[in-house]
Amino acid sequence: MPQEKNQPNVAADDFAALAAAQVEPEIIREMLKVYLNPEQKEMLGQNMARGISLLADLKAQLDTAKAQFKGRITAVEGEIAESARMLNIGYQMANVECRVIRNFEHKTVTLYRMDTDPEELVSERPMTRDELQRKLDFDAAQAAICTRCGERPARSGDDLCPQCDEEYQAEMAKKD
Ligand SMILES: [Zn+2]
């Protein structure tokens, strides 16, 4: 028995006294040191190793969760700050449809925003050299006369006016 070496060497006297008193023997439980055997020690060692590994894993998960929450907190803080900023200045920037007016007489390009009624002036600038040249090219194309009727203006990049072109197409269709 493992306890034998810890037991004081008075058991024999006590047992003798017990026998002499002729008292009913009684068994109770006491909290006492019980030394570990090698199997128990090995099992505890394994438990410790498992615990250390699990602890490291849990700490890593905690770090990950912390980082995720920090990211979410930062995002919400950003939303709050942006709302506060917009509330403070009273507007936000957005893409708004604008009407472009090219005035070739005044050689200006004017923008009017279409989300207001009446449409408000946004900006006005002088026409660029390119824009003026494009207009001149367009006018020249418009000025070309139909080669068929010789009266109506030919379509841009075409020899015929739209009406004559339609007639021509119809004639070609009949021939087929
Ligand atoms: Zn024509």
pLDDT tens by residue, 70-116 = 999 999 999 999 999 999 999 989 999 999 999 988 999 999 999 99
Domain ranges for the chain, please list them. 42-93
User: How close is the Cα of 162 to the center of ligand 1, in Å?
Assistant: 7
Q: What percent of the chain clears pLDDT 90, i.e. is strictly above it?
A: 62
Residues 6+ apart with CB under 8 A from 40: none
User: How close is the Cα of 140 to the center of ligand 1, in Å?
Assistant: 17
User: How close is the Cα of 174 to the center of ligand 1, in Å?
Assistant: 19
Residue 1 has pLDDT above 50, yes or no: no
More confident residue, 154 or 46: 46
More confident residue, 36 or 137: 36
CA–CA distance, 15 with 9 (Å, rounded to integer): 11
List, for residues 43-61, the tens digit of each pLDDT value.
Answer: 999 999 999 999 999 999 9
User: How close is the Cα of 145 to the center of ligand 1, in Å?
Assistant: 8
Assess contact for 122 and 98: CB atoms under 8 A.
yes
DSSP characters over 59-103: HHHHHHHHHHHHHHHHHHHHHHHHHHHHHHH--------EEEEEE
User: How close is the Cα of 161 to the center of ligand 1, in Å?
Assistant: 4
Residue carrying structure tokens 């008075």:
10
More confident residue, 2 or 143: 143
List, for residues 17-33, the tens digit of each pLDDT value.
Answer: 777 776 677 889 999 99
User: How close is the Cα of 173 to the center of ligand 1, in Å?
Assistant: 18
User: How close is the Cα of 103 to the center of ligand 1, in Å?
Assistant: 30
User: How close is the Cα of 101 to the center of ligand 1, in Å?
Assistant: 31
User: How close is the Cα of 131 to the center of ligand 1, in Å?
Assistant: 29
